[in-house]
A and B are shown apart, each in its own frame.
Chain A
Amino acid sequence: MTTVDERARELTPPSTPALRLRGVSKRYGPVVASDNVDLDVNHGEIHGLLGENGAGKSTLMKILLGLVQRDSGTIMRGDTPVAVRDPQDAVALGIGMVHQHFSLIDALTVWENVILGDTGRIDRAAACRQVEEVSRRYGLPIDPTARVERLSAGERQRVELIKCLRRDPSVLILDEPTSVLTQAESAELFTVLRHVVRAENRAVILISHKLAEITAATDRVTVLRKGKVVFHSPTGDTTPPELARWMVGRDVSLRAEGAALGMLPVDGAAPSGDPPAQTTAESPSGAEAEAVTPAETTAEPAAGAGSGIAPALRLRDLTVVIDGVTVLSELSLDVAPGEIVGLYGVEGNGQSTLGDLLSGLVLPSSGTVELTGRPVELERPGALHRAGLGIIPEDRHSSGVVLDMSVAENLVMKSIGDVSGRGFVSRRKMHAVARRLAAEFNIVAPSLDAPVRSLSGGNQQRVVLARELSAGPSVLVAAQPTHGLDVGAIEDMYQRLRDAASEGVAVLLISTELEEVMALASRIAVICSGRITGVLPAAEATAERLGMLVGGVAA
């Protein structure tokens, strides 16, 4: 992706640093979100900050914006250390951020949003003039009197940019700016950023997990992993595969082999052992299981569940649009009985929406969900449950359990009919069922009448799992099932999911933890911007290929 232009820039004397970070650290309890980070951001450059979830990108930026206080380290403007105690300090230092999500007010007009946060009298005519002026200068057409709620995602982005650029920042930070944009809108954005950097000598920090974006748009790239800077280079001197390896980590391929050899679920016809080509019965062949491009995904679903076994869960062309943003885009995926499919991707790429959809909390604007061959009427409450879908929701406190109801009540909640007669719940029957499930799933509780709130996270999750599996589902969807659990509980959850699969349940594991996906799944589907960018057998999942798919590049 190196252009002649970029090469030429490499030869020019190093530009002046707009912002320097030295040894910046921040920890939240035992979690080190930012570990001794050094970073130089120069005038006239777009600096890419690449990393997975939890790599510490956002924490670093929040520190720069004064939203989070660092524990140690120095932030320097040129050679002078500066204090950034709150957002006002950041504005005074000329650090501006284009927020993706929370900075525009839908009910207000464009010009009102742009001047929000200023002081002094409101001059509508002057504000509109300024918006038009900035919009002309950067080629960001917008009607200043339009209400934001009527704008598309791309237009909102323009408003964000105008709002930020109007304050003349010397350092402009963009956090995952293209996550809701179309290709054309992204291209337009990067044209503007080029102009901002070249013609006006500002510095831009571009946070992204998309490799294509980083390689195409940045002059310099820093890769963060687990809060540390692991790689730093002029963008022209590196390649997407190299960046993918740094982003995901070198040790993945080892784990992949381990997963392929030892931890595969026993699926019906799986000839055990022999990696890599025959690791799963569902993979038609190594070649066909190659990652496919999004276009191919929509035409011919990438699920490899061919060879005779009808998929238990079949998602077809699911599209979900929330507030004008396409969150899921024609997503198709099959899960066969007895297999665990991992849906992996960086957070915020649509996987939690898919989880909500499969919980019945969100309706798709188009597409179907089929369970054991039959389409489900999603608009009916409980239809998914009745059709045989069990779900471990991502947020167990809000949709997994009722915290202040008892363990027994939570366990029978989805099958109250079975423990009641003549309209009354039989406490005896309820307790019998609850006792059996608690014993079977090793739920440790002070008593069956204790509120679920009093249980540890691991035991709460066991309650959810016990309830869902006791209904005898044909499909189990586990969304971030080990989130916030301790090591023992995680192991237990893994074992239960493997057991469920070996008993013939089709398991869809939605996770942002690569280790988890590698440990459990026989096939890995990667989601990026609401699309499946590829499906790989676990044995073929190398850091590089996963990194490319996660970054939105079909490998």
Chain B
Amino acid sequence: MSAADDISTILSSGIRLTVPLAFAACGEYLAERAGTMNISLEAMMLGAAFGSVATASATGSATTGLVAGVLIGLLIGFVHGNLAHRLEVNTFVVGLVLNALVLGLTSYLITISSFDSHQVTQVSVPWLRDIPLIGHPLFVERWPVYLLLLIVPLTWWLVERSRWGLELRAVGEQPQAADVTGIRVNLRRRQALLWCGALAGLGGAYLAVGEVGSFNQNMTAGRGYIVIAAVIFGAWRLGRTLLGCVLFGLADAMRLALPALGLTMNSQLLVVAPYLLALVAMLVFTTRNREPKSLGQPFVRGST
């Protein structure tokens, strides 16, 4: 194998590992701009991964599985939103409980059931796939990958240009002021969580019926947390958040590729690389912090 092939392989695998993160990151980014620290991202991804495989197996259609994944993400977003922004349960506690619940539930369900393998179809773009080095990684992918081309700009437009997004940002920064201005703070936060749930669900489902074709126990393996770290790494800007996802994806790809390349670098070290990256990012970015001012703080009218 030539070096170019190696690079191409690592890029391919890096992109495939980045895609689920990128979907979820678009969701988490929007939820955090609205002021919710959505820890249950992991539950959304894992639940969707399981649901998509189960549905794909039952219906024989991977695409239907993908839709089911989105619905499961929405459901978890709905539950999180209502617990955190209607009943005022601490958002971190809600997230941790949902993560534990979904992990336990899916681990149990997979032991008592067996599913057929289904995968969404692969798209191969003629001509472009022949570009050296990046042609194959970028232009031979499962079709949901190309949804990102729609969802990333849409997320940016929603947050930065739409009235809904303006209100989301207001709610994430100073909910009391937003309330006085007549914005329904907790409604907006619940809506943001639904968007987050749908996209995290898409990410989780893509991982299962897109990439792997089956479900195994704890298959997201902390990817939800990686995405949360990516949003921090990106200092609450979409472009940098996605860059964070790419870095984490590539670090993951390196880890998988090293043995094949015959390198004897300690792969355990590479497993922690994304997390180290997140830590360093937090150290670097705390000085010029652009965190939404009310991130993670519940809104109750009358308290200032």
Q: Are A107 and B293 in contact (CB under 8 A)?
A: yes
Give the shortest distance, in Å, between B123 (CB) and chain A (any CB).
34
Residues 154-185 of chain B, each 1 if its beta carbon lies under 8 Å from chain A, else 0: 00000001110011011001101110111100
Smallest Cβ-Cβ distance to A104: which chain B residue:
B177
Residues 86-101 of chain A, each 1 if its beta carbon lies under 8 Å from chain B, else 0: 0110010000000100
Q: Are A121 and B163 in contact (CB under 8 A)?
A: yes
Q: Are A122 and B176 in contact (CB under 8 A)?
A: no
Residues 64-94 of chain B, each 1 if its beta carbon lies under 8 Å from chain A, else 0: 0000000000000000000000000000000
Q: Known: A107-B293, A108-B166, A121-B163. Contact between A87 and B180, CB under 8 A?
A: yes
Q: Are B169 and A119 in contact (CB under 8 A)?
A: no
A103 beta carbon closer than 8 Å to chain B: yes
Q: Known: A87-B182, A91-B182, A122-B166. Contact between A105 and B177, CB under 8 A?
A: yes
Q: Are B178 and A116 in contact (CB under 8 A)?
A: yes
Q: Are B174 and A106 in contact (CB under 8 A)?
A: yes
A13 beta carbon closer than 8 Å to chain B: no
Q: Are B182 and A117 in contact (CB under 8 A)?
A: yes
A484 beta carbon closer than 8 Å to chain B: no
Q: Are B169 and A107 in contact (CB under 8 A)?
A: yes
B:191-228 near A, CB below 8 Å: none
Q: B162 to chain A: which residues have CB within 8 Å?
A: 122
Interface size class of A (residues with CB under 8 A): 20 to 34
Q: B182 to chain A: which residues have CB within 8 Å?
A: 87-88, 91, 117
Most buried by B among A102, A105, A118: A105
Give the shortest distance, in Å, between A127 (CB) and chain B (any CB).
10
Q: B292 to chain A: which residues have CB within 8 Å?
A: 107
B304 beta carbon closer than 8 Å to chain A: yes
Docked CA distance A112–B173 (Å): 13
Docked CA distance A112–B162 (Å): 11
Smallest Cβ-Cβ distance to A97: which chain B residue:
B180
Smallest Cβ-Cβ distance to B165: which chain A residue:
A122
Give the shortest distance, in Å, between A436 (CB) and chain B (any CB).
39
A421 beta carbon closer than 8 Å to chain B: no
Docked CA distance A447–B95 (Å): 39
A:105-145 near B, CB below 8 Å: 105-108, 112, 115-122
Q: Known: A99-B180, A102-B304, A107-B293. Contact between A116 and B174, CB under 8 A?
A: no
Q: A107 to chain B: which residues have CB within 8 Å?
A: 169, 173-174, 292-293
Smallest Cβ-Cβ distance to B302: which chain A residue:
A67
Give the shortest distance, in Å, between A198 (CB) and chain B (any CB).
28
Smallest Cβ-Cβ distance to B172: which chain A residue:
A107
Interface size class of B (residues with CB under 8 A): 10 to 19
Residues 256-287 of chain A, each 1 if its beta carbon lies under 8 Å from chain B, else 0: 00000000000000000000000000000000
Q: A108 to chain B: which residues have CB within 8 Å?
A: 166, 169-170, 173
Q: Are A105 and B180 in contact (CB under 8 A)?
A: no
Smallest Cβ-Cβ distance to B164: which chain A residue:
A122
Docked CA distance A439–B213 (Å): 74
Q: Known: A119-B163, A122-B162. Contact between A106 and B173, CB under 8 A?
A: yes
Q: Are B163 and A105 in contact (CB under 8 A)?
A: no
Docked CA distance A305–B174 (Å): 45
Q: A102 to chain B: which residues have CB within 8 Å?
A: 174, 176-177, 180, 304
Smallest Cβ-Cβ distance to B301: which chain A residue:
A67
Q: Are B180 and A120 in contact (CB under 8 A)?
A: no
Give the shortest distance, in Å, between B186 (CB) and chain A (any CB).
15
Docked CA distance A99–B177 (Å): 9
Q: Known: A102-B174, A122-B161. Contact between A116 and B167, CB under 8 A?
A: yes
Give the shortest distance, in Å, between B238 (CB) and chain A (any CB).
16
Q: A120 to chain B: which residues have CB within 8 Å?
A: 163
Give the shortest distance, in Å, between A348 (CB) and chain B (any CB).
13
Smallest Cβ-Cβ distance to B174: which chain A residue:
A105
Q: A105 to chain B: which residues have CB within 8 Å?
A: 169-170, 173-174, 177-178
Q: Known: A107-B293, A108-B166, A112-B166. Contact between A117 and B181, CB under 8 A?
A: yes
Q: A116 to chain B: which residues have CB within 8 Å?
A: 166-167, 170, 178, 181, 183
Docked CA distance A108–B166 (Å): 9
Residues 350-368 of chain A, each 1 if its beta carbon lies under 8 Å from chain B, else 0: 0000000000000000000
Docked CA distance A57–B56 (Å): 64
B:103-142 near A, CB below 8 Å: none
Give the shortest distance, in Å, between B41 (CB) and chain A (any CB).
24
Q: B170 to chain A: which residues have CB within 8 Å?
A: 105, 108, 116
Q: Are B183 and A117 in contact (CB under 8 A)?
A: yes
Give the shortest distance, in Å, between B160 (CB) and chain A (any CB).
10
Q: Are B163 and A122 in contact (CB under 8 A)?
A: yes
Q: Are A103 and B169 in contact (CB under 8 A)?
A: no
Q: A122 to chain B: which residues have CB within 8 Å?
A: 161-163, 166
Q: Are B163 and A103 in contact (CB under 8 A)?
A: no
Q: A117 to chain B: which residues have CB within 8 Å?
A: 181-183
Q: B169 to chain A: which residues have CB within 8 Å?
A: 105, 107-108
Docked CA distance A116–B170 (Å): 8
Docked CA distance A106–B177 (Å): 10
Q: Are A103 and B177 in contact (CB under 8 A)?
A: yes
A:70-92 near B, CB below 8 Å: 87-88, 91
Q: B167 to chain A: which residues have CB within 8 Å?
A: 116
Docked CA distance A104–B161 (Å): 19
Docked CA distance A108–B183 (Å): 15
Q: A106 to chain B: which residues have CB within 8 Å?
A: 173-174, 293
Give the shortest distance, in Å, between B137 (CB) and chain A (any CB).
38
Q: B176 to chain A: which residues have CB within 8 Å?
A: 102
Docked CA distance A105–B163 (Å): 15
Docked CA distance A107–B175 (Å): 12
Residues 47-84 of chain A, each 1 if its beta carbon lies under 8 Å from chain B, else 0: 00000000000000000000000000000000000000
B:2-35 near A, CB below 8 Å: none
Give the shortest distance, in Å, between B302 (CB) and chain A (any CB).
9
Docked CA distance A88–B181 (Å): 9
Docked CA distance A88–B163 (Å): 18
Docked CA distance A91–B163 (Å): 19
Q: A121 to chain B: which residues have CB within 8 Å?
A: 163
Docked CA distance A108–B163 (Å): 13
Q: B177 to chain A: which residues have CB within 8 Å?
A: 102-105
Docked CA distance A105–B304 (Å): 14
Most buried by A among B167, B170, B181, B293: B181
Docked CA distance A105–B167 (Å): 10
Q: B166 to chain A: which residues have CB within 8 Å?
A: 108, 112, 115-116, 122
Q: A87 to chain B: which residues have CB within 8 Å?
A: 180, 182
Docked CA distance A88–B167 (Å): 16
Q: B161 to chain A: which residues have CB within 8 Å?
A: 122
Q: B183 to chain A: which residues have CB within 8 Å?
A: 116-117
Q: B174 to chain A: which residues have CB within 8 Å?
A: 102, 104-107
Give the shortest distance, in Å, between B237 (CB) and chain A (any CB).
13
Docked CA distance A486–B282 (Å): 49
Docked CA distance A117–B182 (Å): 6
Q: A118 to chain B: which residues have CB within 8 Å?
A: 163
Q: B180 to chain A: which residues have CB within 8 Å?
A: 87, 99, 102-103
List 17 A–B pairs whose Cβ atoms lie within 8 Å, in order of A's numbering: A88-B182, A91-B182, A99-B180, A103-B180, A106-B174, A107-B174, A108-B169, A108-B173, A116-B166, A116-B167, A116-B170, A117-B182, A118-B163, A119-B163, A121-B163, A122-B162, A122-B163
**Chain B residues packing against A (C-beta within 8 Å):** 161-163, 166-167, 169-170, 173-174, 176-178, 180-183, 292-293, 304
Known: A99-B180, A102-B304. 7 other contacts (CB 8 A): A105-B177, A106-B174, A107-B169, A115-B166, A116-B167, A119-B163, A120-B163
The 10 tightest CB contacts between A and B, nearest first, are A117-B181, A117-B182, A107-B173, A102-B176, A105-B170, A103-B180, A102-B177, A105-B174, A122-B163, A103-B177
